[in-house]
Amino acid sequence: MAVDNVLTWLESNQDAGINRLCDWLRIPSISTDPKYAPEVRRAAQWCADHLKASGVDAQVRDAVTKDGKPGHPIVFAHVPGDLNYRGPHLLFYGHYDVQPVDPVNLWESDPFQPVVRDARQGEQGGRRVVARGAVDDKGQVMMFLEAMRAWKEVTGKPAGGVKMTIMIEGEEESGSVSLEPFVNATASELRKCDVCLISDTGMLGRGKPAITYGVRGLAYTEVVLHAANQDLHSGLWGGRCPNPITELARVLAQLHDKKRKVTIPGFYDDVVPLSNKERENWKRLKFNAAAALKQIGLQPVADIGETGYTALEREWGRPTAEINGIVGGYTGPGAKTVIPSHASAKVSFRLVADQNPTKVTKAFFKWCKERTPPGCKWEFIDHHGGHGVTTPIDSPAMRAAQRAIKRATGKQAALIKSGGSIPVAGMLKARLGIDTIFMGFGLDDDRVHSPNEKFEIDCYRMGARAHAVLIDELRSL
């Protein structure tokens, strides 16, 4: 069968594939820093060239941000597929940009000079690639790219005859500011897609492949509480007028009730409750909350959150309100007896289906207003947000992905969710009605966004095989 030859090709070309990945990793495609714009474009071109070598007519399309400024380009391609192809039209999404590298002195080697090495003493796992972007997301996109290459080499057909659209962006690490305008502009092309595949998530653990069928949404806000029109002497004014830090803290302390439920009216209105079946399934994953806490230096007693839900349920299936930063007054060395004119906080909400980020943000601002401390004034800032998604686990494509993982790795894929947010999935669902399958092969300790980011070769191998077999599964639908 063709797929056997494809897997053999991947096996015998694995080192070459890793070398190609290293070439890509050498391009410092840091999207958030304008200084790197030419490198970001070079990484896009590299990706398009790789696809071209797999028979795919890939373009590097210019993108424009919401404010009309030039954005980083998007690698875009259509694979027409065989005339008699009956499976779903797949949309592959990934990103080729990376996070900045600081603090650079904590890296064991140059972040853009990838090193392929064995595990050292005290390190878990095996051989790995260490570099910025090794797993997030160049390494994971590479699994797909090499699977594409293998199918072309073996069958002579791009994607082995599967109908596909490919969209690999260069701004995921800096807010995907051009993606929405791009999706709107290409909506007529994208609407033909049936299901999206993203390889930017993790496994349940080392050697335990997983499919993520849902991520949370996000609403990110900033609130500033203004009091006097100037900073004040705390001896002369203390006790006579509002201190915005104290007042802000008093308001924010009301965000949760005794059961650690969010107190904003209507917050839970659109929350889809966890089904018993889902709770049963998650229980079977035997997640060890105490062990996870231990890794971050906490005792089992720290397993706190919304009453009535386990740690996993709280992460995957329930919304949260978090204060991410709070600033005000004097924070330098020594003492300064001041009552500041204002204080501010970053407050964000992780959302689950079917919560709407805009609605939640509005409700939070209203809730703050109703608690305005005497004499104070609010300033509200709405940062970015995105919808959460839950993908049906019984669709043909989802079943195909499960079978692909089983055939490629010999292991049943765990069906998991993630507490994190991948806004593109929410956007594809909201704009185009497209569900997303997250088939990622990262590990918790890959140090994503941190110094010494790595991707283990075993994970890469599993991922490349799974992507190759998925193409076979789609061909036979």
Which residues in this chain contact Zn ion in the complex, by CB under 5 A?
136
Q: Residue 354: is the preceding peptide bond cis (ω within 30°)?
A: yes
Residues in the chain: 477
Closest CA to 95 of 128, 139, 126: 139
In angstroms, give the least distance from the CB of 261 to Zn ion: 31
CB of 95 to Zn ion, least distance (A): 8
Dihedral pair phi/psi, residue 454, rounded to 5°: -145, 160
Nearer to Zn ion, 373 or 419 (CB): 419
* Separation between Cα atoms, residue 209 and residue 457, nearest integer Å: 14
Residue at shortest CB range from Zn ion: 136
**CB 305, min distance to Zn ion, A:** 25
Choose between 81 and 133: whose C-beta lies nearer to Zn ion: 133
Nearer of residues 367 and 438 to Zn ion, judged by Cβ: 438
Q: How far is the CB of 172 from Zn ion (least distance, A)?
A: 6
Torsion of CA 102, 103, 108, 112, to 10 degrees: 10
Single-letter amino acid, residue 345: A
What's the closest the beta carbon of residue 454 comes to Zn ion, in angstroms? 14
Kindly tell me which of 78 and 95 has the beta carbon lying closer to Zn ion.
95
24: nearest Cα among 53, 57, 65:
53
| Complete edge-to-edge strand list for the sheet that includes strand 454-456 | 115-117, 128-130, 454-456
Contact 431, 184 (CB under 8 A): yes
136 or 171, CB closer to Zn ion?
A: 136
CA atoms of 448 and 141, how far apart (whole Å): 15
Between 136 and 247, whose beta carbon lies closer to Zn ion? 136
Q: In angstroms, what is the minimal distance from the CB of 171 to Zn ion?
A: 11
Which element (helix H / strand E) includes 248? helix 244-252
Pick the closer one to Zn ion by CB: 170 or 242: 170
Q: How far is the CB of 448 from Zn ion (least distance, A)?
A: 6
Compare residues 97 and 472 and give the one whose CB is closer to Zn ion. 97
Q: Is the dihedral of CA 229, 235, 240, 244 positive or negative?
A: positive
How far apart (Å, rounded) are the C-alpha atoms in residues 147 and 454?
21
Q: Which alpha helices (DSSP H) does 320-456 contain, by range?
A: 357-369, 396-409, 423-432
Name the minimum Å distance from CB 226 to Zn ion. 35
